[in-house]
Structure 1
Amino acid sequence: MPDLLTHALVMYSVVTVASWRYERLTPSFVTVAMMGAMIPDLTKIRLVLPSYRVESVLGVPFDWFALHTAGGSAIAVLIGTVLVPREYRTRVLSLLALGAASHLLLDALLVNPSGHSYAILWPLTQYHPPTPGFYLSTDRWPAIVTGTIAGAVWARTRRLRSSRDP
């Protein structure tokens, strides 16, 4: 799954670079941001538990794809936020939301035959924004590029930490 790896590596790089300036962004919070980047892909649960089965149990229309939109991701972010101690909630909310937003933004750049993305901002709007079509979710090159960047960020972070320690 090069797509999921790419999302995690992007957030690792972004939040780790931010941690160079903000000491409150410890490695644990970098991980929180990376988990936030994976929230929209919770839709993959449909591979194990199809939407029609949930729909038959609940008796109402249901589709896992809602998690892959701004509205569904926002609900998942809020659920994740209330699961942590109160003193960390603001940071966790911000980092989970940043991760989920970055995922949706990167997915808006995917190649789509129609030239338009899916309704990313659902339930606010059904608008399907145009997509520049930079890459496919199965392409490996985005994971290689982000992996290289993440490796450079990791090396720089190690050098910074070793220069601070006596």
Structure 2
Amino acid sequence: MAEWLTHVFLAYALFTVVGWSVDWLDAKWVAVGIVGSILPDLDRLDLVVSEELITAATGVPFEWSGINSLGGVVVLSAIGALLFEHGKNQRRAFVLLFSGSLSHLVVDLPQRYADGLMLTNTYLFPLPPWRPPTPGWYVSADQWVVVVALVVALVVFGIDRYRPADTRPAVAERAD
């Protein structure tokens, strides 16, 4: 749970700060980016539905691990973007879902692993495997990581909330 919170807090901070410069990136779109930040961890659905069950039901070999990769998040972002009505909104949704997913993968890269190498071989699928050394800054169970992410999110929230109104992007009224 702490790992998911870390990704959510950091995505909130990232997309909120980007929203200060991009007119259309309001709170609704920030939420889409936050959803993207947890897409790579959908591979944990294997705890609920086994790969064997899906393979037996569909007759097609299936693995959940492909979701936690560059190729997997492209597919999930495209599927998520289809939930939006207009082409412009679909493109925005894809960019935000993919960016949120990419932020997740990047934040996970400097984790400490037993062999001392990054997990880029799985993240970069379907690209060729490459595993440089990891700086080993943290393990996913470290509690201080979520505390740092929370502090960053709170600072950004405070700045965003108390910014002068004239520095906020103008939000166009929706015509119904």
TM range (shorter): over 0.9
| Structure 1 stretch displaced more, 7-16 or 121-130 | 121-130
1:7-46 paired onto structure 2 within 5 Å: 7-46=7-46
Matched, 1:124 2:120: no
Any idea what SS the aligned residue of 2:162 has?
helix
Which amino acid is 2:94 matched to?
L
Aligned-pair distance for 1:111?
A: 1.0
Matched, 1:136 2:129: no
Aligned-pair distance for 1:126?
A: 2.7
| Structure 1 stretch displaced more, 41-50 or 15-24 | 15-24
Cα distance between partner residues in 2 of 1:100 and 1:159: 29
Which amino acid is 1:91 matched to?
R
Aligned-pair distance for 1:112?
A: 0.6
Aligned length: 165
**CA-to-aligned-CA distance 1:7-37 (integer Å, 9 cap, x gap):** 1111100110111222211101110010000
Q: Percent identity?
A: 32
Q: TM-score, length-normalised on structure 1?
A: 0.92
1:3-152 paired onto structure 2 within 5 Å: 3-86=3-86, 87-118=88-119, 119=121, 120-152=123-155
Which amino acid is 1:77 matched to?
S
Cα distance between partner residues in 1 of 2:52 and 2:155: 44
Aligned-pair distance for 1:163?
A: 6.9
Gapped runs of 5+ residues in structure 2? 169-176
Question: Which contiguous aligned blocks of 4+ residues in structure 1 show a shift greater than 4 angstroms?
Answer: 161-165
Cα distance between partner residues in 2 of 1:125 and 1:73: 17
Q: TM-score, length-normalised on structure 2?
A: 0.87
